[in-house]
Amino acid sequence: MKRSTRILLTLFGIVVVTVAVVFVVIRPLGQRVAADQEAIRDRRDQLVQLQRVARRIDDLPQQREIEVILREVWVTAEARSLAARSIRTMKVEAASRYNAQPISLTLEGPFAGFYEFLLCLEQLPRITKVREMQIQKSPTEPGAVLVDMVVDIFFEN
């Protein structure tokens, strides 16, 4: 074989091996690194959300503030054109670091107002959870709803 042919075959072999290494080793490794970086970003986002929740748990209201919370709920409902038929506190449920105060609500008014009420309830500076909810057509007013719901308000022991 001529020397030039041997050099060309050697160069061709080197190119083939290089391309094979790129497609078999380096490219999958780069994809794995990109996936790992995306997973790290997701975990950081989750960590930020958990830290926000932890701060909210640390800032739970005291039990003596329940009347203030009830007033806020009442005012929020009235501001959304909802008639608060009843708002009653139920028996406090104790846990290790916090207590839950269930509040039974009966509201009547336009559905759009009720939807806005739920959005505002979610934005209150307290941790709340809607435990039960029953929505019916209002027997007295067309286009309105009658809602019976139980909302848990969490506070410190």
Residues 48-61: tens digit of each pLDDT:
998 887 776 655 55
2 and 38, same domain (yes or no): yes
User: Of 22, 41, 58, which residue is a domain's last?
Assistant: 58
54 and 94, same domain (yes or no): no
37 and 103, same domain (yes or no): no
> Is 157's pLDDT higher than 60?
yes
Q: Which domain holds residue 51?
A: 1-58
Q: Which parts of the chain fold into alpha helices (H)?
A: 3-21, 27-58, 66-79, 111-123
Q: What is the CATH number of the domain that holds 127?
A: 3.30.70.60
Mean pLDDT to the nearest integer, 39-67: 77
Judged by phi (left if over 0) then psi (alpha if -120 to 50, else beta), residue 81 lies in left
Q: Is 0.75 surpassed by the pTM of this model?
A: no
96 and 151, same domain (yes or no): yes
